[in-house]
Chain A
Amino acid sequence: MGSAYLDNAATTPLSAAAADAMQAVIDARLGNPSGAHRLARRAQEVLDEAREVVADALGGPAGGVVFTGGGTEADNLAVRGVLGASGGLAVCPAAEHHAVLHPVQQANGRVVGLTTDGRVDLDRLAEALDPDVRVVSVMAVNNENGMIQPLEPIRELIDERAPAAVLHTDAVQGAPWLDLVAHTTPADLVSISAHKFGGPAGVGALLVRGDVELAPQLVGGGQERGRRAGTHNVAGIAGMAAALAATVGARRETGQRVGRLRDRLADALLAEVDDCVETGVRAAKVAGNCHLCFSGIESEALLFLLEQQEVYASAAASCSSGAQEPSHVLAAMGYPRQLAGGSLRLSLGPTTTEADVERAVAVIPPAVARLRERDPLQAP
């Protein structure tokens, strides 16, 4: 049995489609797409085609696609770009990715709570909305618990209470699994990140629907219609577009297959390990997410044991030193330390196999049992 990579929500292996597209760009020795000669125009052509692929996959005009250096930059541009252009307040739920949460907090925005099953608490969101609000950011899928957040009710609340506000959705974790055209229709701004769906890291996009004004966060050569300066990463963007097209084409089949693997994984672990809780609601999660809390142990010790057995997974976010930090998502869901301390995110992807799942099912229960006996969570 080989190793089991179950950390696809952190990053996915580069897909063959992306690698081929990137290699083709590299081999072609293209120019700078902002240039004036033929080789520049060929690079521009790659960008134009990629822009259309992304626009089609997200459901918006090609002119609304802003290529960025990843999901974090797209999220920052959405929140800070709107506030920079129109002032006012930002609002987001407490379980947003830090790429949204930190810009909102730094701008003295309003952060609202979640329900215990990991959805946005619409009553609390409603309380936070008023005509001063200019941007509301709600992720399509949470990166830890995998919960899908419907955006229609949020749009309705915004239209009712904060008519000047735009809705941004961080769809970074949704892109591998959801029909983003359908799911993100209520949003004005949509972020994606290539390496979550088989593209290269360091490339992403923000889709701008309608005439939302954004203050650029990078200024210089005026690329991306003045919304994001800097020479384009042409190969990376081509890789993102190829990966996205491949993802969209296989999405239904992938979702069904991976969903079955995830169900087997989650059901087996829930059956074999006592005091194990699955976060959220399975039916409302993306197919690749298996997020469990094992009462009474510490995630970092569990990850160590899993790594020794070549099972690669995650818990919550890591800080800059590499140490595990408590999950702000589980805290927002009201999970007690006893449970949240032992969280484990097993995230499956298109390359996940039955053997990966069986390996995890074989390795995790004895590891949890060992830690409960020999290295239990230290009560604060």
Chain B
Amino acid sequence: MSPPVMVAMSGGVDSSVAAALLVEQGHQVVGVTLKLWGGTSDSGCCSVSDVDDARRVAQQLGIEHHVFNFGEHFDRHVVEPYVDAHAAGRTPNPCIECNRHVKFERLVTRARALGFDLVATGHHAAIVPDETVASADGEPVRRIGRGVDRAKDQSYVLHMLGQDQLRGLMLPIGHLTKEEVRAHARRLGLRTAAKPDSQDVCFITATGGRQVFLRDRMALTPGRVIDGDGRAVGRVDAVELVTIGQRKGLRAAGGGAPRYVTDIDLGTATVTVGPRSDLFVERTAITDLGWSHLPSSGPFVVQVSAHGPTASAVLEDDHLRWHEPHQRVAPGQSMVLYHDDQVMGGAVAA
């Protein structure tokens, strides 16, 4: 009998189909939904109706379904750092921190303790053996590869997984396009077949946005916007919410070429804007460099946002040197290093 698999079921179509395919493949499957957020939210993976969807799909598949309350863990490792990062003027990616600390640390620990050495999720990504590297213990070295559906590829938000986690991870839908996933859901009559994708951070409401969420949790500072010559050209409500490269929401005087945020000084609550050309840099300083196995050498294909474009760079000491001048990366953003379509590691823009 194949070993039991614990499937993280958010109540969305991807994880529903992930669970269904594992059942069809003959695995012994238990579904779990993580209760992460008790506050108000109208999107994402935390609402009671999403739990209902996950539970009903599990019932339909004939598997047991449990809810784990990781709310405290989520507060501590995702929400609080998210607020802290904004307060420090960085641009955090809470989905990465959730994957890092909640799904692939807390849940994997829990799953193993409960007798499940395998955990599956509905991410659009693949686990691929890297045959170019020999491993010490006979187990192949595994890498996160891109999902077949490039528009939905989630390898970026899984980049931090190490060999120990990859060994016990299954990504049953990474080889499918979103349309194929939905087709499976329709074929099986799953109630999530036509459910819209979640797009946003699950604890931020679409109506209130970041500002409403953050203003209850930190001081937001109104700031002035100046151009490269120091002339005041606009205002912002919260300098902490401004991101390098941002163009909209600066209440800048109209006319002329588009201007982009090129610098943010929290101390003086000043945002500097300039032409797009001011955004381009030769190199980007990094921190928190990590590897999926052993350190690799470049050149790397680097991706700096979940579904953004890629660029070539080499690693030099504490920075990445771009092959061609690259738009500045907002401090706090994850920078994922690929060889071809496989994740070698990642770092955070300093």
Q: Which A residues fall within an 8 A CB radius of B?
A: 300-301, 304-305, 308, 319-325, 370-371, 373-375, 378, 380
The answer to whether B186 has its CB under 8 Å from any CB of chain A is: no
Q: If A321-B35, A322-B51, A322-B55 touch, does A375 touch B113 (CB 8 Å cutoff)?
A: yes
Known: A322-B67, A324-B69. A374 touches B35 (CB 8 A): no
Most chain A Cβ neighbours within 10 Å, of B35, B55, B76, B106? B35
Contact B68 A375 (CB under 8 A): no
Q: Do residues B113 and A320 form an inter-chain contact, with CB atoms below 8 A?
A: no
Once the chains are docked, how many angstroms separate the CA of A308 from the CA of B69?
Answer: 19
Chain B contact-residue range equals 20 to 34
A-B pairs, top 7 by smallest CB distance, nearest first, are A375-B113, A374-B113, A323-B69, A323-B35, A322-B67, A321-B51, A323-B67
20 additional A-B residue pairs with CB within 8 Å, beyond A322-B51, A370-B113:
A301-B110, A301-B113, A304-B66, A305-B114, A308-B114, A319-B35, A320-B48, A321-B33, A321-B35, A321-B48, A321-B67, A323-B69, A324-B67, A375-B109, A375-B110, A375-B112, A375-B113, A378-B72, A378-B73, A380-B76
Contacts of A380 in B (CB 8 A): 72, 76
Give 28 A-B contacts (CB < 8 Å), ordered by A residue. A300-B68, A301-B110, A301-B114, A304-B66, A304-B114, A308-B114, A320-B48, A321-B35, A321-B51, A321-B67, A322-B51, A322-B66, A322-B67, A323-B67, A323-B68, A324-B67, A324-B69, A370-B113, A371-B113, A373-B113, A374-B109, A374-B112, A375-B110, A375-B113, A375-B114, A378-B73, A378-B106, A380-B76
- CB-nearest residue of chain A relative to B109? A375
Whole-angstrom distance from the CB of B28 to the nearest CB of chain A? 11
CB distance from B97 to the nearest CB of A (A): 15
Using Cβ atoms and an 8 Å threshold, which residues of chain B touch A300?
A: 66-69
Task: Confirm or deny: B129 has a beta carbon within 8 angstroms of a beta carbon on chain A.
Answer: no
Residues of B within 8 A of A305 (CB): 114-115
Complex contacts, B106 vs chain A, CB 8 Å: 378
Neighbouring A residues of B68 by C-beta, 8 Å: 300, 323
Bound complex: CA of A378 vs CA of B113, how far in Å?
14
A-contacting residues, B30-82, CB 8 Å: 33, 35, 48, 51, 55, 66-69, 71-73, 76
Least CB distance from A251 to B in Å reads: 36
A304 to B76, CA, bound (A): 24
- In the bound assembly, the distance between CA atoms of A288 and B73 in angstroms comes to 34
Contact with A along B5-44 (1 / 0, CB 8 A): 0000000000000000000000000000101000000000
Which A residue's beta carbon lies closest to that of B68?
A300
Instruction: Tell me the bound Cα distance from A130 to B109 in angstroms.
Output: 52
Q: Return chain A residues, CB-CB under 8 Å to B113.
A: 301, 370-371, 373-375
From the candidates A325, A371, A373, name the one contacting B69 in the complex (CB within 8 A): A325
Minimal beta-carbon separation of B108 from chain A (angstroms) = 10
- Most chain B CB neighbours (cut-off 10 Å) among A304, A320, A323, A324: A323
B67 smallest CB distance to A (angstroms): 4
Residues in A whose Cβ lies below 8 Å from that of B67: 300, 321-324
B74-122 interface with A by 8 A CB criterion: 76, 106, 109-110, 112-115
Taking the nearest CB of chain B, how far is it from the CB of A89, in angstroms?
Answer: 29
Question: A304 vs B33: C-alpha distance in the bound complex, in angstroms?
Answer: 14
Please give the distance in Å from A306's CB to the nearest CB on chain B: 11
Cα–Cα distance between A322 and B106 once the two chains are bound (Å): 19
CA distance A370 to B116 in the complex (A): 13
Q: How far is the CA of A153 from the CA of B307 in the complex (A)?
A: 67
Distance in Å: Cβ of B333 to nearest Cβ of chain A? 28
Interface-centre pick from B66, B76, B114 (highest chain A CB count, 10 A): B114
Chain A residue at smallest Cβ distance from B51: A321
Question: With A and B bound together, what is the CA distance between A127 and B45 in angstroms?
Answer: 45
Closest to B110 in A: A375
**Chain A residues in 8 Å Cβ range of B71:** 323
With A and B bound together, what is the CA distance between A190 and B106 in angstroms?
A: 45
Residue of B69, B72, B115 with highest tally of chain A CB at under 10 A: B69
Chain A hits for B76, CB < 8 A: 380
Q: Measured between C-beta atoms, what is the minimum distance from B33 to chain A in Å?
A: 8
- Docked-complex contact B110 and A308, CB < 8 angstroms: no
Interface centre among A321, A373, A375 (most CB of B within 10 A): A321
Contact pattern, B 192-227, Cβ under 8 Å of A = 1, otherwise 0: 000000000000000000000000000000000000
User: What's the least CB distance linking A157 to chain B, in Å?
Assistant: 37
